[in-house]
Amino acid sequence: MVLLTIAGCQDGNTPAGPVEKTAVAPAAPVEKSKASPSVPLGRTAVQKRDANPVVAPAKRVQPNRVQPERKEFEAKAKAAQAKFKLEQARRVAVAKNETSARSFAAQKNWPQAIKSQREAVRLQPEDRRMRYMLGITLLQAKRQQEAKAVFQKLAGTEDQFGANAKRLIQRIDSDPR
């Protein structure tokens, strides 16, 4: 292989003078590795000169053995999936109880409406709206003392349910039917 250095002139002359032709020996062929055709033998992927550093290859996994990290990951994934399914089933049950309670209240079937509302509160005790609806259902069923007990649990909160519960407690106390 012959390397010519010509800076703008075809005849080899440059402003600095004539340029000599220099012969350069061809580079020795590099033996490629069998594992990776782009990496020569004796070099790892991290030692490549012109490429970005590459993460070392992953550990070899023996075909019939599951790695402990994978077992732990799979166990956590199954637990999370079971928790999600349980939460989803609970939400569906709450929605069904709430819907059936409204239906029973519309039919004035108070014992069934109260039963459905209590079940919804049992499934979701932190939901203040459900507790408030139970109190309203108890008031409609003319069970003022039970409704007052439910509203007293809500009266300590600083939201609309707490304010309404305080107002309804005053109403129950003033009208003792």
Dump pLDDT digits (tens) for 28-86.
Answer: 555 554 555 555 555 555 554 555 556 666 666 566 665 778 888 888 999 999 999 98
Contact 68, 77 (CB under 8 A): no
For residue 94, the model assigns a pLDDT of 85
For residue 1, the model assigns a pLDDT of 45
List the structure tokens of 31: 């033996």
Q: Tell whether the model's pLDDT for residue 138 goes beyond 90.
A: yes
Which pLDDT band holds residue 158 (cuts at 50, 70, 90)? confident
Dump pLDDT digits (tens) for 12-24.
Answer: 555 555 555 555 5
Residues contacting residue 140 through CB under 8 Å, at least 6 positions apart = 105, 110
Q: CA–CA separation, 147 vs 164, rounded Å?
A: 13
Domains and CATH numbers, the chain: 72-174 (1.25.40.10)
Q: Which residue has the higher pLDDT, 67 or 148?
A: 148
Residues contacting residue 141 through CB under 8 Å, at least 6 positions apart = 110, 111, 113, 114
Q: Tell whether the model's pLDDT for residue 161 goes beyond 80.
A: yes
Mean of pLDDT over the chain: 76
Q: Which residue has the higher pLDDT, 4 or 62?
A: 62
For residue 102, the model assigns a pLDDT of 87
